[in-house]
């Protein structure tokens, strides 16, 4: 079973694979939008059918309290390790829709890029695992290792159903290592393996004043405006530099060691390119005493993801609105506990609330961060796979984003996750015009093929 044949099959199957990926990208499986449930279910059914089609067994859609999980396996390599391949078929919302150059759910190819919501996060990356498995089964009639697939529909809302699912189906998801392609490299010639992900805690805050919207000329100036009250509260979550001012927010943050900081400083980082991608004026902003790389990977943050209140259509509505809302999320590092942070932030927000308004806070989601040892045996195999395809060893990098399953697999099974992502920094994850490089998919399939064959004992 030489790899050359599987590589050739993967290449031949590329046009067909691209058509199938476009089918999946056309399904607006937005997990946070309750009304998108039928689309979410359609995406799960699509994935399940495709897993079966490429030759996997026991393909099934497992119901959860919310969005289903798709499972399949191929377990005919006795004595060989078992890899749990993870991906997610759910996507972020596409708004603001007006900023997309092409419709977010009509995948469009421009040069080397496939543009669509979910192109890189994660539909275009989960297809890499499927393509590798398909190629090996077509070329060899078998796989070099055992594989199980778990492809979920709630990653973008914090994977709330996995905990109970792993309790109910504990044995089914046992494996030696989890393979995840849901992250990005530092550059097209700079592959990385992620060694930690941050946790996430999100909440919804609602500030209510008058019981209905009031005429500003009749009540304004004598009734506190919930927008003004909420703005005052939100303004006190950071100091002017960007340090989070929630009391005890940083208490459990593990300080960066000199070695950590030296390692982060050695990573290739093009400050000018980064600022250009962010598109902000070239003014430094962020927690004082830390570099951009440190702030975005190794320090906790607090972000206001949205706010709304009153009238913001054409012109003006001279209203004193009844309520104002905001969504806030924190990225957490070890050893911050999401529930403790939620409690600290909620208490602080309540303490900031002016007496003339009522404040209610609802949890949205939460999950802790996690890290993976560089000494795990699969790390070496993964490094060699990258070297074979990209010509260089991967760098070991802390990821600023959150992949909830990583901490969960560690807790439930003591299982390590190997995060081999093939996205690029300018893919625009969660942004308009999200894209995935077609050559990165191609090289991703080759890398994963090398990984699977390399893993064989």
Touching its own copies, residues 150-209 (CB under 8 A): 156-158, 198, 200, 202, 204, 209
Asked if 331 touches its own copies (CB under 8 A), the answer is yes
- Beta bridge partners, 320, equal 214
Per-residue interface string for the shown chain with its own copies, residues 375-404, x marking contact by CB under 8 A: ------------------------xxxx--
Pick the piece of the chain touching its own copies (CB under 8 A) from 74-82, 126-134, 283-291, 340-348.
283-291
Asked if 308 touches its own copies (CB under 8 A), the answer is yes
Name which position in 12, 97, 170, 220 contacts its own copies (CB under 8 A).
220
Name which position in 135, 147, 320, 418 contacts its own copies (CB under 8 A).
320
Name which position in 169, 172, 327, 376 contacts its own copies (CB under 8 A).
327
Residues 337 and 411: beta-carbon distance below 8 Å: no
Closer residue to its own copies, CB minimum distance, 32 or 410? 32
Burial class (CB in 10 A: 0-12, 13-18, 19+), 58: middle
State in angstroms the smallest separation of the CB of 272 from its own copies.
14
Q: How far apart are CA 180 and CA 419, in angstroms?
A: 5
Name which position in 56, 178, 326, 344 contacts its own copies (CB under 8 A).
326
Asked if 55 touches its own copies (CB under 8 A), the answer is no
Closer residue to its own copies, CB minimum distance, 56 or 324? 324
Report residue 316 CA to chain centroid gap: 38
Asked if 445 touches its own copies (CB under 8 A), the answer is no
Cα angle 354, 359, 364; round to 5: 140
Q: How many residues does the chain have?
A: 457
CA atoms within 13 A on the CB side of 303: 15
Question: Interaction with its own copies in 22-41: which residues (CB under 8 A)?
Answer: 31-34
Residues 320 and 216: beta-carbon distance below 8 Å: yes
Asked if 441 touches its own copies (CB under 8 A), the answer is no
State in angstroms the smallest separation of the CB of 390 from its own copies.
22
Burial class (CB in 10 A: 0-12, 13-18, 19+), 164: exposed
State in angstroms the smallest separation of the CB of 42 from its own copies.
19
Per-residue interface string for the shown chain with its own copies, residues 87-126, x marking contact by CB under 8 A: -----xx-xx--x---------------------------
Burial class (CB in 10 A: 0-12, 13-18, 19+), 149: buried
Question: Interaction with its own copies in 240-279: which residues (CB under 8 A)?
Answer: 240, 242, 278-279
Q: How far apart are CA 277 and CA 298, in angstroms?
A: 20
CA end-to-end distance (rounded Å), the chain: 14
């Amino acid at each position: 079973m030489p790899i050359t044949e599987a590589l050739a099959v993967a290449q031949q199957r590329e046009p067909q694979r691209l058509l199938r990926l476009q089918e999946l990208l056309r399904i607006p499986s937005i997990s946070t939008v309750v009304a998108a449930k039928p689309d979410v279910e359609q995406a799960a059914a699509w994935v399940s059918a495709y897993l079966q089609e490429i030759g996997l067994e026991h393909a099934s859609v497992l119901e959860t309290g919310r969005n289903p999980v798709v499972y399949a396996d191929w377990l005919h390599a006795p004595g060989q390790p078992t890899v749990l391949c993870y991906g997610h078929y759910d996507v972020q919302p596409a708004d603001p829709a007006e900023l997309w150059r092409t419709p977010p759910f009509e995948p469009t190819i421009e040069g080397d890029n496939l543009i669509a919501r979910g192109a890189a996060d994660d539909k275009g990356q989960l297809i890499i695992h499927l393509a590798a498995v398909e190629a090996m089964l077509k070329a060899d009639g078998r796989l070099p290792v055992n594989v199980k697939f778990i492809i979920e529909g709630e990653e973008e809302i914090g994977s709330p159903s996995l905990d109970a699912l792993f309790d109910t189906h504990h044995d089914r998801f046992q494996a030696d290592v989890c393979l995840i392609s849901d992250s990005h490299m530092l550059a097209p010639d700079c592959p990385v393996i992620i060694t930690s992900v941050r946790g996430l805690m999100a909440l919804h805050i609602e500030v209510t004043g008058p019981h209905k919207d009031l005429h500003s000329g009749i009540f304004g100036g004598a009734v506190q405006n919930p927008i003004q009250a909420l703005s005052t509260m939100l303004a006190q979550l950071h100091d002017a530099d960007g340090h989070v001012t929630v009391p005890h927010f940083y208490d459990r943050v593990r300080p960066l060691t000199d070695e950590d900081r030296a390692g982060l400083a050695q990573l290739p980082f093009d400050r000018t390119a980064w600022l250009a991608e962010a598109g902000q004026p070239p003014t430094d902003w962020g927690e004082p005493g830390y570099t951009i790389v440190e702030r975005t990977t190794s320090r906790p943050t607090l972000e206001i993801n949205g706010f709304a209140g009153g009238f913001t259509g054409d012109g003006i509505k001279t209203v004193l609105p009844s309520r104002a809302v905001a969504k806030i999320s924190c990225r957490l590092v070890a050893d911050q506990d999401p529930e403790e942070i939620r409690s600290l932030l909620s208490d602080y927000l309540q303490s900031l609330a002016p007496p003339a308004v009522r404040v209610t806070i609802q949890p949205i989601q939460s999950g802790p961060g996690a890290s993976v040892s560089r000494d795990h045996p699969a790390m070496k195999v993964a490094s060699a796979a990258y070297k074979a395809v990209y010509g260089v060893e991967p760098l070991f990098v802390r990821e600023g984003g959150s992949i909830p399953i990583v901490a969960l697999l560690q807790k439930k099974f003591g299982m390590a996750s190997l995060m081999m992502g093939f996205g690029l920094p300018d893919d625009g994850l969660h942004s308009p015009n999200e894209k995935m490089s077609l050559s990165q998919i191609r090289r991703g399939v080759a890398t994963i093929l090398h990984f699977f064959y390399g893993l064989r004992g």
